């Protein structure tokens, strides 16, 4: 079974509140490997394209303003069941609805400022990773280093 990749970005509120190190640490402690990372300012055109599926919703314009209000830290994480596990780690969209132990449950209360984005499907992850990163910006890691995260003694990673 191949490892999945997913896109995550820490939104401006996470950076202003200086939560980046804590959030990244949670992903690393869970066993994810960072294969790409960059600090960027998301432009209005980019945000509109990224969130185009929500264009007809009342929160779209505030979401674009929020996403473009400061720098974001974008990363590609790799690991077993990355999309599902990362989404579980994020918590629900609204911080106040998220359970304690999730990133949003521990650090967010707002319905708008929710700290972090994560791809919601494998298909979305591929599109989003390609939107933010060129292939040469992603690195391969030594699989030998992850043998203490997964049982790799058989034909599948467990």
**What are the catalytic residues?**
117
Rounded Cα gap, residues 133 and 41, in angstroms: 14
Other CB atoms within 10 A of residue 156 CB: 11
- Could you tell me if 50 and 119 are in contact, meaning their C-beta atoms sit under 8 angstroms apart? no
3-class SS at 33? strand
**Going along the chain, which residue ranges are E strands?**
4-10, 33-41, 71-79, 116-118
């Amino acid at each position: 079974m191949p490892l999945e990749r997913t896109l995550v970005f820490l939104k401006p509120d996470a950076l202003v509140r200086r939560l980046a190190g804590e959030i990244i640490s949670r992903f690393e402690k869970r066993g994810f490997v960072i294969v790409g990372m960059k600090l960027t300012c998301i432009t209005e055109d980019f945000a509109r394209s990224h969130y185009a599926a929500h264009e007809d919703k009342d929160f779209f314009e505030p979401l674009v303003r929020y996403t473009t209000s400061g720098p974001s830290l974008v990363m590609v994480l790799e690991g077993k069941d990355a999309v599902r596990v990362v989404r579980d780690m994020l918590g629900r969209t609204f911080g106040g609805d998220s359970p304690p132990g999730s990133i949003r449950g521990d650090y967010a209360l707002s319905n708008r400022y929710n700290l972090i984005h994560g791809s919601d499907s494998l298909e979305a992850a591929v599109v989003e990773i390609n939107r933010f990163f060129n292939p040469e910006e992603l690195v391969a890691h030594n699989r030998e280093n992850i043998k203490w995260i997964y049982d790799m003694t058989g034909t599948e990673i467990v």
